[in-house]
Amino acid sequence: MNGAPTLRPRRTLGSYLALVRFQHTLFALPFAFAGMFAAAGGWPGWATFGWVTLAMAGARTFAMALNRIFDARIDAANPRTAKRELPSGTLRALDAWALAALGALAFVVAGIALNPLTAALLPLAAVFLALYPLTKRFTWACHLWLGATIGAAAAGGWIAVTGAFAPATWWSWLAVGAWIAGFDVIYALLDRDFDVAHRVHSIPARFGEAGGRRIAIALHVLAVAALAAFVAAAGLGPASGLAVVAVAAVFAVQHAWVARHGAAIALKAFDANLYVGAIVLAGVLLDLTLFR
Query: Going from the N-terminus, what domains does the chain have, and what CATH number goes with each?
Result: 29-286 (1.10.357.140)
Neighbouring C-alpha atoms within 13 Å toward the C-beta of 215 = 25
Per-residue model confidence (pLDDT) at position 229 = 97
Report how far residue 205's alpha carbon sits from residue 192's, in angstroms, rounded to the nearest whole number: 5
Q: What is the DSSP letter of 4?
A: P
pTM score of the predicted model: 0.88
Q: What is the DSSP letter of 78?
A: S
Burial 229-262 (b: 16+ CB within 10 A, else e): bbbebbebbebbeebbebbbebbeebbebbeeee
Q: How far is CA 257 from CA 18, 160, 187, in A?
A: 27, 37, 13
Element (H, E) at 117: helix 116-120
Supply angle C-alpha 199, 25, 129, rounded to 5: 50
Per-residue model confidence (pLDDT) at position 190 = 87
Residue 30 near residue 280 (C-beta atoms within 8 A): yes
Phi, psi dihedral angles at 41 (to 5 degrees): 70, 25
Label residue 215 exposed, middle or buried (CB < 10 Å: 0-12, 13-18, 19+). Answer: buried
Per-residue model confidence (pLDDT) at position 236 = 94
Report how far residue 51's alpha carbon sits from residue 42's, in angstroms, rounded to the nearest whole number: 17
Mark the ranges of the chain whose per-residue pLDDT is less than 50: 1-5
Neighbouring C-alpha atoms within 13 Å toward the C-beta of 196 = 11
Neighbours of 99 (CB within 10 A): 22
* Closest of 19, 122, 52 to residue 281, by C-alpha: 52
Element (H, E) at 283: helix 274-290
Report how far residue 67's alpha carbon sits from residue 221's, in angstroms, rounded to the nearest whole number: 28
Q: At what angle do helices 274-290 and 238-261 cross, to 10 degrees?
A: 170
Per-residue model confidence (pLDDT) at position 24 = 67
Condensed to tens digits (0 to 9), the pLDDT of residues 16-58 reads 888 877 766 677 889 999 999 999 999 999 999 999 999 999 9
